[in-house]
């Protein structure tokens, strides 16, 4: 159970407020209701919230609050949720910068489904920047084959504070240390991010994926014990190719969300990282695989072949990592060798119904069949 998650709610519609209060209370997310836009902006600049929920009855006001959220140092990574009336909204809330959109009139079930994904991302972003006080023996590896030994002050997923070295550190260097309870040492690159009173902040660079996973797992355990892991979001794999997959779910994550996927069929397990390329609220999401190396594609091909030969329904676990706000998180251009990825690249503006029709064409079926897994 995650204590302390907080959401700011800007809304004047009492019916909407009642639904959101009930759902957020069930999910143990605190709500600070603020019906005044000026006061909402002030709170965003002074307090930290894991989520900001905005009624977009006025596009100008909604845009102003979203802009203030992105500009506030404490809230620039907050998950933004827009409440919109599709019959009267001239501008899509996604164009204003919202991560999630809920359409009026709100239903309890649809709101619950959406906020399961919202909460998972809220928790994930909170852990990403949390620092665990811990003293570790740290070896700073210099390029001249020499090293400096020091002690950590705290540790986070993306950096650590160490007791200041006696000599000036170069712009980039190696780091080596062991996590308590973990047998093997971990090693990657780092750089000085800031310097304080006898303490230096180190930013991690070029962290291998398996090392990053170990860090996330260890830090999560220190912060929340047995409740470190958010239960995986319920999804069904409906389409799979060498480069992408489509997941059917009532609780899809927004475009640009990085996901950790674990698929299992019989004794074969496939772990892969992906990023949401298309999202259809209440229906599903198209995920592009990252790091599409030849070795990874060989593993995916083996998984596909096992599915074809066994006709088994694969087990699937989906956990969010973060929302990627980098300028170009997706692969460029159209991939004609992979029809599924090509559809994700070219079909972002299709309606959900039209997109599902295109998926069915790729599967070679005319009518929707919920049991079809296209590989």
Q: Rounded CA gap, 117 and 1, in Å?
A: 15
The predicted model gives 326-354 an average pLDDT of 83
Structure tokens at 23: 């759902």
Please classify residue 96 by burial: count the beta carbons closer than 10 Å to its beta carbon, then call 0-12 exposed, 13-18 middle and 19+ buried: buried
Specify whether the CB–CB gap between 141 and 175 falls below 8 A: yes
Write down the mean pLDDT value for the chain: 87
Confidence at 181, pLDDT banded by 50, 70, 90: confident
Q: What is the sign, positive or negative, of the torsion defined by CA atoms of 332, 271, 80, 23? A: positive
Taking 50 as the threshold, does the pLDDT of residue 226 lie above it?
no
Taking 60 as the threshold, does the pLDDT of residue 334 lie above it?
no
Looking only at the bridges linking them, the beta strands covering 100-103 and 79-84 are parallel
Topology of the domain comprising 236-363: Thrombin, subunit H (2.40.10)
The predicted model gives 190-216 an average pLDDT of 89
Please classify residue 129 by burial: count the beta carbons closer than 10 Å to its beta carbon, then call 0-12 exposed, 13-18 middle and 19+ buried: exposed
Specify whether the CB–CB gap between 108 and 60 falls below 8 A: no
Q: Tell me if the domain spanning 132-226 has CATH number 3.20.20.220.
A: no
Confidence (pLDDT) at 333: 60
- Residue 292 DSSP SS3: coil
Taking 70 as the threshold, does the pLDDT of residue 156 lie above it?
yes
Taking 60 as the threshold, does the pLDDT of residue 220 lie above it?
yes
Confidence (pLDDT) at 92: 80
Please classify residue 35 by burial: count the beta carbons closer than 10 Å to its beta carbon, then call 0-12 exposed, 13-18 middle and 19+ buried: middle
- Options 3.30.70.20, 3.40.1190.20, 3.40.50.2300, 3.30.70.260; CATH for 6-129 is 3.40.50.2300
The predicted model gives 11-30 an average pLDDT of 95
Confidence (pLDDT) at 225: 54
The predicted model gives 236-264 an average pLDDT of 92
The predicted model gives 327-340 an average pLDDT of 76
Q: What share of the chain is helix, strand, coil (3-state, %, to 5)?
A: 30, 30, 40
Instruction: Say which range, 231-235, 261-265, 315-319, 342-346, has the weakest mean pLDDT.
Output: 231-235
- What lies within 8 Å, CB to CB, of 361 at 6+ separation is none
Residue with the larger pLDDT of the pair 136 and 123: 136
Taking 90 as the threshold, does the pLDDT of residue 131 lie above it?
no
Q: What is the pLDDT of residues 297-333, one digit of tens each?
A: 888 999 999 888 887 788 898 989 889 888 888 876 6
Q: Rounded CA gap, 80 and 52, in Å?
A: 5
Instruction: Say which range, 12-21, 30-39, 118-127, 271-280, has the weakest mean pLDDT.
Output: 118-127
Structure tokens at 16: 């909407």
Q: Which residues pair with 365 in a beta bridge?
A: none
- Residue 147 DSSP SS3: strand
Specify whether the CB–CB gap between 53 and 9 falls below 8 A: yes
Confidence at 336, pLDDT banded by 50, 70, 90: low
CATH 3.40.50.2300 residue ranges of the chain are: 6-129
Percentage of residues in the chain with pLDDT exceeding 70?
A: 92
Confidence at 352, pLDDT banded by 50, 70, 90: confident
Quote the strand ranges of 98-231, DSSP E.
100-103, 132-133, 137-141, 147-155, 159-163, 173-177, 186-195, 199-205
Percentage of residues in the chain with pLDDT exceeding 90?
A: 53
- What lies within 8 Å, CB to CB, of 240 at 6+ separation is 246, 300, 303, 304, 307, 340, 373, 374, 375
Confidence at 177, pLDDT banded by 50, 70, 90: very high
Taking 80 as the threshold, does the pLDDT of residue 295 lie above it?
yes
Closest CA to 34 of 4, 3, 69: 69
CATH 2.40.10.220 residue ranges of the chain are: 132-226
Confidence at 365, pLDDT banded by 50, 70, 90: low
Exposure on the CB side of residue 47, measured as CA atoms within 13 A: 15
Confidence (pLDDT) at 1: 39
Instruction: Say which range, 76-85, 128-137, 239-248, 278-287, has the weakest mean pLDDT.
Output: 128-137
Q: What is the pLDDT of residues 37-53, one digit of tens each?
A: 999 999 999 999 999 99
């Amino acid at each position: 159970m995650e204590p302390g998650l907080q959401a700011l709610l800007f809304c004047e519609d009492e019916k909407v407020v009642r639904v959101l209060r009930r759902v957020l209370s069930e999910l143990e997310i605190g709500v600070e209701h603020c019906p005044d836009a000026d006061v909402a902006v002030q709170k965003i600049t002074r307090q930290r919230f894991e989520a900001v929920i905005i009624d977009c009855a006025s596009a100008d006001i909604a845009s102003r609050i979203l802009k203030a959220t992105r500009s506030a140092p404490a809230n620039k990574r907050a998950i933004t949720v827009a409440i919109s009336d599709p019959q009267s909204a001239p501008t899509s809330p996604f164009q204003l910068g919202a991560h999630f959109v809920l359409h009026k009139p709100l239903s309890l079930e649809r709101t619950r489904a959406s906020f399961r994904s919202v909460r998972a991302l809220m928790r994930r972003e909170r852990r990403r920047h949390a620092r665990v006080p811990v003293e570790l023996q740290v070896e700073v590896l210099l390029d001249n084959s020499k090293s400096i030994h020091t002690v950590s002050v705290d540790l986070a997923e993306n950096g650590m504070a160490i007791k200041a070295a006696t000599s000036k550190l170069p712009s980039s260097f190696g780091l080596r240390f062991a996590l308590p309870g973990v047998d093997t040492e971990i090693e990657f690159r780092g750089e000085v991010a800031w310097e304080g009173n006898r303490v230096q902040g180190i930013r991690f660079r070029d962290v291998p994926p398996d090392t990053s996973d170990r860090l996330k797992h260890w830090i999560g355990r220190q912060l929340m014990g047995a409740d470190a892991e958010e239960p995986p979001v319920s999804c069904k794999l409906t389409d799979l190719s060498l480069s992408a997959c489509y997941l059917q779910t009532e609780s899809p994550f927004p475009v640009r969300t990085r996901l950790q996927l674990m698929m299992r069929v019989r004794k074969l397990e496939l772990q892969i990282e992906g990023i949401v390329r298309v999202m259809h609220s209440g229906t599903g999401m198209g995920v592009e695989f990252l790091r599409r190396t030849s070795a990874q594609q060989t593993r995916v091909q083996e998984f596909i072949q096992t599915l074809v030969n066994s006709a088994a329904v694969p087990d699937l676990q989906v956990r969010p990592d973060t929302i990627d706000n980098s300028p170009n998180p997706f692969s460029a251009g159209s991939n004609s060798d992979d029809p599924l990825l090509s559809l994700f690249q070219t079909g972002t503006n299709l309606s959900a119904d039209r997109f599902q029709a295109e998926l069915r064409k790729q599967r070679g079926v005319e009518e929707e069949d919920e049991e079809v897994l296209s590989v």
